[in-house]
Amino acid sequence: MCGIIGLLNSPETATEIFLGLENLQHRGQDGGGIITLDKGRFHQHRGIGLLENAFTASHLARLTGNAGIGHTRYTTTGKKSLSQLQPFLSEMTGLVIAHNGNIVNYQQICESFHHNGYAASATGCDSEVILWTLERALSTEGKTFEGLVNSIRTLSETLVGSYSVIGLCEGLGLFAFRDPNGLRPLVMGEQIRKGDTEKTYAFASETVALSFLGFSEMVDIQPGEVVLVTPKGKVHRANYTSPKPRHCMFEWVYFARVESEIDELPVYQARFNLGAALAENIRATGLKPDIVVPVPETSRIAAIALAEQLGVPFREVLIKNRYVNRTFILESQAARQAAIRRKLYPVATELSGKRILIVDDSIVRGNTAIQIIQMLRQCGAKEIYLASTCPPIQHPCYYGIDFPDENELLASAHTVEELPKILGVDALIYQTIAGLEKSLKPNNLCMACLTDDYPTDISAAETYSKQRTLQRKEVLVS
């Protein structure tokens, strides 16, 4: 899971890419990179950590040109290192790509390349195979829109997994494409700015990045679709393969910014729907909470809807330290647990003696829930109920949400009946599959982590999972 953005015909390309990436920082905080193109010459900068630490004004000033791509990384394959930060550039072919998603059969593709006489991976990052395959195909097909479509079709016949990609090719233009399932989001924007006669074009992971930059005309890149904008501003669109939509439900449940709209469904509305649907389940239990408390930040909207439906006061009494970043996307268990303790703190005077309904977006590993429950007990809560807007997560994700190991998942190792005792709550209420589907209509959803129904071949998933586990262990040792 990462944040990607590309701009064409912008007078302040690097600065606007940086600002767009800041609005995608929630999608990755391990590092970031920007590459711009200026009169046939590429300029680039990458840095580890948050964008505000990775870039300075002088870095941005050196990134000249009116076209460019940016990327902010969440490590779901490979390691946290400068060499693995995107965008990736091929100087030889003048091709740049930034990728959001996971290539499940990355190891097999690397072996195939090696057996055919090509060099081994330079970075160990799965996104590199997209660059390799595209540059080989483009060199054969030619730098035309038809050649690009054919090249991406060839690529799709090789890759298994999720891939929303933004590319920049010298002499061809800025392009974007999305895997046939549309697992990861991708949008296009265009605008004519005051005083300009030519349009500025952009692609990004989420609408929030483009609306912040002033774009009002935005459309989704469709599953299996490729869009090219030439240097002269001509737009070409085509399907490189038949679409088979299976949008990741976790984007609406947790990952995306609440201000975004994904595949024509506003994230705010989706989370409100989830809260209202969950209220029906709670009402059926006969529980009588005194207050409804959200786990900041992503469950807030659902908790508001739930409180309204139940007629129970909504109270913001778990206070987030705004200087601690997202704990879910940290790489190790120890790092996540340490960050949780620093991230949230309760208002004890509002909790003592009360029956508290805690609302969380999901329960994956249980780290956040267990520590919050312990804090609330220490504050003197009378009873604690925990509600999840997402059904039990029982199966690995191989498409960019970083839980590829079934052993990490609390609901996989234990029955729903066992979980309240493990979590330390008096009652546990999950969203139902039906409630989730109703809340996220009209989208065709990937719910593989809930149902074990994967939209792609996952025969290479065991190798992928073992490799990811090994990479995490190496991080802990180092």
Cβ–Cβ contacts within 10 Å for residue 462, how many? 11
Q: Give Cβ neighbours of residue 280 (< 8 Å, ≥ 6 apart).
A: 309, 435
Q: How far apart are CA 443 and CA 64, in angstroms?
A: 40
- Name residue 105's amino acid: N
The Cα–Cα gap between 163 and 184 comes to 7
Per the CB < 8 A criterion, the answer to whether 42 and 96 are in contact is yes
DSSP per position, 144-182: SHHHHHHHHHHHHTT--B--EEEEEETTTEEEEEE-TT-
The one catalytic residue in 2, 110, 125, 248 is: 2
Q: How far apart are CA 398 and CA 248, in angstroms?
A: 11
**Cβ neighbours, 10 Å, residue 108:** 17
For 298, the 3-state DSSP assignment is coil
Angle made by CA atoms 18, 328, 300, in degrees to the nearest 5: 85
2 among known catalytic residues? yes
The token pair that represents 147 in the structure block: 């050649």
As a whole number of angstroms, the distance between CA 104 and CA 247 comes to: 17
Beta strands 427-430 and 383-388, pairing class: parallel
Question: Hey, which residues are catalytic here?
Answer: 2
